[in-house]
Structure 1
């Protein structure tokens, strides 16, 4: 037998019942008449029900100057029902209607009667915040207005005087420091509550029942040395003390994340002793990236200038005496029309390693123009470095590589980067000239090297937001004799014979000529 035959259908009721309006009163009502008066009385309620343009206002006091709470209307229909239950059951459940219905239902009793009474087609809801109120009981001015204008007392209206205070800010000559002014129409311009999404300060902890702020700001004790300074073997006393604070307050989420960041980069420095900050940031999870600046000084130092500038080097490691660290030397290039474009929260595509977008393969434009030599994977650069002569001592400008190799490397990289940035095809003859025919120019071998950092102690010193650098002194170009003017020819001659160019300039001044016709 089907179970459907045992199911009882709900009783049907006719909805040919009255349509009414409802007021959701925001207070616990004990006196219905008083509640009606607080929203304007029965006549005002009827007017608001019939005309949507007439607002229903809730006034909490009898003050005429009170700023009322305006009601919003909702036209969604609801059903008002009447529930009849036994009084004895209701009393036994401590007059709790919900508990009474649950007990009656669980006991299988049928003595509950439900009848639809009306359909609610308009609901008044007071959801606004109460405005600030201005207390006027001590105001002589308001008292005079109430007794004359509001009471429609013509005699008192004629005698009403408005004494204007021309200096309300001057308290020296006044006994009572009170502005006797009529209240404004409204104090707050925001009637609805706003969620400001306040969050707990990560640097605050609860101590002895009180909220205490520990270390309002964490100082960066970064170790930055000159090229001639000795190698730091360990962190400073300030850094050690700071680390002890992090560890002792590990329950603090902020310090906990710093220690987590430190654990990650310790493993990375075990694999490679020298890193660029951008490369480390790309490996860290997004929520730990901002904390790298607090963790890096605990295990590394950096040079102000030299072959490893803008790099972070593990304590105890001195690349100036270790030729095998030459591939971690840093080169910074400045190319016109190039701007660093590293998206916020960028993550590496190679786990625990330098992202491919920070490497230069000769074809794709990298995100940054600050490289370690190992990041230059272009075939011509790799071959050039493989044939380099390794110096017996580390040089301030060129590191462990000979001057000619680094001179060619910088010239080659600037040319290739410029071609990639401008979207042009590389000239094979030009590349051959740089790799095989280029020679050092006396007095200019080191001018190509050093891109001095303006802020030597700045933790952000490896951001490639550099201004365009004029490298014409080192750029090779062919002179178009048919279209070149005098200044261009003179500049071209000056590359090979500076004194001769000066003599020609003096000669042209004597001849009073603007241009030389080739």
Structure 2
């Protein structure tokens, strides 16, 4: 907008040249009066460039010389913007501005925005300790420094928090009867084997204890399908996980690694011997860091806290409620992604692979790439 001779604002049309530089933006959480000092808190130009050309988050230390300063971090996020150079002149003695000149310097394609809090900081008891190598984390491996009586004892504590952003927490009161408490008051660990385990898979529980009351319902589900994830099992069982947790050691075992990791597998069933078990392989789909998860949850339809709304399937029009989410391949409700999964039907290799199971080697990578595009598109629709 610019002001014309009549004193009203009018729209200015810009013509974009075809050879614009691609720039990125750092939204600095402060009033920058000295650019050199601001760059120092970001680690210098080399650190900023290194973070921009890699997937490493950009760090910011308000006390760059203090080895104990806890940094703020920001991942690289997509952005859309322009950098403009605007000149506005007026003749000497004239009270009115002349027409302004506008020049487009570049296109902003990404940005860094520090959304965290600086609540957790450690300050050494002596000012000189902040820059002394003897108190750095790396120096703790030097036993001679620890024995030096001239150095006051001061050890950097472990991280005080895993999160630097405020999170929503819905406090709920759960009412349980004495019968419900008894049904899952006893729970033993599940049998777990490695993917390269030789010999037969576990076929029965080792203990001869009577199974809990939830056994019949869960056992019926595993007769219908030999492999379940927790979310899928909770949805089809119609009860919360703690209610049937004690029944699982009487029915299932687990793999500690491989394409069925985190899944519950029926005793006696070995998915490594059945190519059709490809549909039960588990994939982790992570919500991209460019999406603010709290905003996504607020903008999507609210779900009640019951198993009927358990989110165990993935589709193109949802953003999962957690940063990391595990799905069976059969629970991906998208035709294009299912085509990728079934691309080698009937052509599976003779030996199941520890990394990608019965799928093609690039199947998981393609699925994650497609899921990321779906989630980013959905976030754009929700304007988050």
* TM-score (structure 1 length as normaliser): 0.34
Higher RCO (C-alpha under 8 Å, 6+ residues apart): 2
Q: Which has the higher helix share?
A: 1
The structure number with the bigger radius of gyration is 1
